[in-house]
A and B are shown apart, each in its own frame.
Chain A
C-alpha cells in the first residue's frame, strides 16, 4: 500500500487505518459523527495527500487543457481555479478535476482523484497537444482545512509564514508561499461545503504543517478527520464522488455538471457526443432524496415507480450526521426527478417509500 507523508502520524494519533484505492489512509480517528460535527461546528484537518497533481506547462499548456477539459480554461487568470471534467472519447468521464492557473497561458496545476491518477496521467499524456506535462503527485502533500473556524486557523498559520491572509482570498483562488522553508500553494477550495482551503505542501513539509495546524488550532477545537466523515460531509452537499455519481459512462449533463461545460466557448474532447445527449433530451437526472419509511439507502439499490417500473439507481447513501436521518443521491428517470416526487426504494428486497428533495441536503 502507498503511504502519504502523514501515515505514521495518523497511526500515532490513534486513527483506524484502511486501504483506500491502494493508499494506507485514516478512515476514522475518534468517531465518524464527532469528526463530522466538528467540521460543521469548528474546524477539521484532512490528509488529502493521496490526491494526484499533474503539472501542465509551456506555450501549449492552455491549448492542451482547453482540449482535455470541459470548462473555460482561458477565463482563468493567475491565481484562479476552476472545477472541471476530463471527458473520455466514449461519452463518459475520465475524472473530475480542479484546474489551478499558476501563470496564465503557460503554467497550470491539475488536481485529480487518487484512485484515477495513473489513468488520468496516461490519458492526458496520450492526448497532449504539446504541453510539458509532469506527474507531480509524489512531490506534494495536501492538507484540507475545513470548517467555520478554518479561516481563522489559516490566518494564524499562513499569515505569519506565508505572509498572506486566507480569509481575504476569494473562493476558488490560489496563492503560493512558503511554510518553514517548504513551498506551499493555498487554494480556497474544499469538499465539505464549509469555509476553508486546501494546501499543497512539498511532501517533506507535510508533517510539520499538520502538527502546526493541530497545535495552533487547539483553542478553536481543531480535530483530524478521517475518510468516513469526509464522505458524509460531501454527501450532505451532494458533491460528486468518482465511482459513485460519475464514472467512465456518465454523461455530465445528467450528473448535473452542465455548469462546468462550456461548448459555446471552445471545442473539447468528444464535445459532439456529450452535448448531443443533452440536445436529444436527458433521460435521467441526479437527484437527492430522503426516506418516508425506515431504511438507509446505499449505492446500487434500485428505484421503482409505484407501478413497479425500475426508474433509477442509488449512487450514494448514508445516515446524515447533521440531519440525523437517512439521505441518498440517485439517478432517476426525468419523469420522476421533480422535487416532491415519491417513489419506492428497494432495500434488500423490501420496497419502502422515498421522496425527491432539494439539495444540498445541508444549507450553509
Chain B
C-alpha cells in the first residue's frame, strides 16, 4: 500500500512524524502507524505546558485491539494539543499526517533532529516491514 510520507518531515523508528517550523515542532503518527493499528478509538495526550523528552513516551493511542505508546521525537514543552481528537479520534485514521496532528512542541534544541530519520530512510524502514 502506498503511504503518504511527506518529504519535509522528520520520522522516528516508532512511526511518529515531526514537522519543524523554526523551534516549533508539530508531531503526529504516520500513515503506516495508523494502518497497522486499525481503527483508533482513544487518544491520551499530555497537557499544555508539560515537558517531554526525546525518545520517551508522551501519550497513547488505542485501537480496538491494542494500546500503542507515543514517543517524543524531540525534547521540549507542549504548547498546543489537538483537542478535537478527544471527541473524534477517527481523524487519526483518515488524515494522520495533517488534520490528525497530536501536539505542538517548543523544542529545546534543534541538535536532537540529527537523531531522527528523513523521508527516504523512513521509507526504507517500512519497506522492510
Residues of chain A touching chain B, judged by Cβ–Cβ distance below 8 Å, are 28, 31-33, 228, 231-232, 294-296, 298, 318-319, 321, 326, 348
Contact A31–B38 (Cβ < 8 Å): yes
Is B41 an interface position by the 8 A CB rule? yes
Selecting from B22-30, B57-65, B72-80, B96-104, the interface stretch reads: B57-65
Is B67 an interface position by the 8 A CB rule? yes
- Tell me the nearest residue of chain A to B42, going by C-beta: A296
- Tell me the nearest residue of chain A to B93, going by C-beta: A31
Is B39 an interface position by the 8 A CB rule? yes
Closest chain B CB from A341 CB (angstroms)? 24
- Range of interface residues on B (Cβ < 8 Å): 10 to 19
A232 to B64, CA, bound (A): 8
Pairs across A and B, CB under 8 Å, 30 listed: A28-B38, A31-B38, A31-B39, A32-B38, A32-B39, A32-B63, A32-B64, A32-B65, A33-B39, A33-B64, A228-B38, A228-B64, A228-B65, A231-B65, A232-B65, A294-B42, A295-B42, A296-B41, A296-B42, A296-B62, A296-B67, A298-B67, A318-B65, A319-B41, A319-B42, A319-B63, A319-B64, A321-B64, A326-B42, A348-B60
**A296-B41, A319-B64, A326-B42 given. 19 additional CB < 8 A pairs?**
A28-B38, A31-B38, A32-B38, A32-B39, A32-B63, A32-B64, A33-B39, A33-B64, A228-B38, A232-B65, A294-B42, A295-B42, A296-B67, A298-B67, A318-B64, A319-B41, A319-B63, A321-B64, A348-B60
Chain B residues within an 8 Å CB radius of A348:
60
A231 to B39, CA, bound (A): 15
Chain A residues within an 8 Å CB radius of B39:
31-33
The winner among B41, B60, B63, B67 for most chain A CB atoms within 10 A is: B41
Closest chain B CB from A316 CB (angstroms)? 12
- Tell me the nearest residue of chain B to A298, going by C-beta: B67
User: Majority SS of interface residues in chain A?
Assistant: mixed
Chain B residues within an 8 Å CB radius of A326:
42
Residues of chain B touching chain A, judged by Cβ–Cβ distance below 8 Å, are 38-39, 41-42, 60, 62-65, 67
A228 to B38, CA, bound (A): 10
- Tell me the nearest residue of chain A to B38, going by C-beta: A32
The winner among A232, A296, A298 for most chain B CB atoms within 10 A is: A296
Closest chain A CB from B125 CB (angstroms)? 18
Closest chain A CB from B81 CB (angstroms)? 15
Chain B residues within an 8 Å CB radius of A295:
42
Closest chain A CB from B92 CB (angstroms)? 14
- Tell me the nearest residue of chain A to B86, going by C-beta: A294
Chain A residues within an 8 Å CB radius of B64:
32-33, 228, 232, 318-319, 321
Contact B62–A319 (Cβ < 8 Å): yes
Chain A residues within an 8 Å CB radius of B63:
32, 319
- Tell me the nearest residue of chain B to A324, going by C-beta: B41
Chain B residues within an 8 Å CB radius of A294:
42
A326 to B42, CA, bound (A): 10
Closest chain A CB from B65 CB (angstroms)? 5
- Tell me the nearest residue of chain A to B64, going by C-beta: A319
Chain A residues within an 8 Å CB radius of B65:
32, 228, 231-232, 318
A294 to B86, CA, bound (A): 10
Chain B residues within an 8 Å CB radius of A228:
38, 64-65
Chain B residues within an 8 Å CB radius of A296:
41-42, 62, 67
Chain A residues within an 8 Å CB radius of B62:
296, 319
Chain A residues within an 8 Å CB radius of B42:
294-296, 319, 326
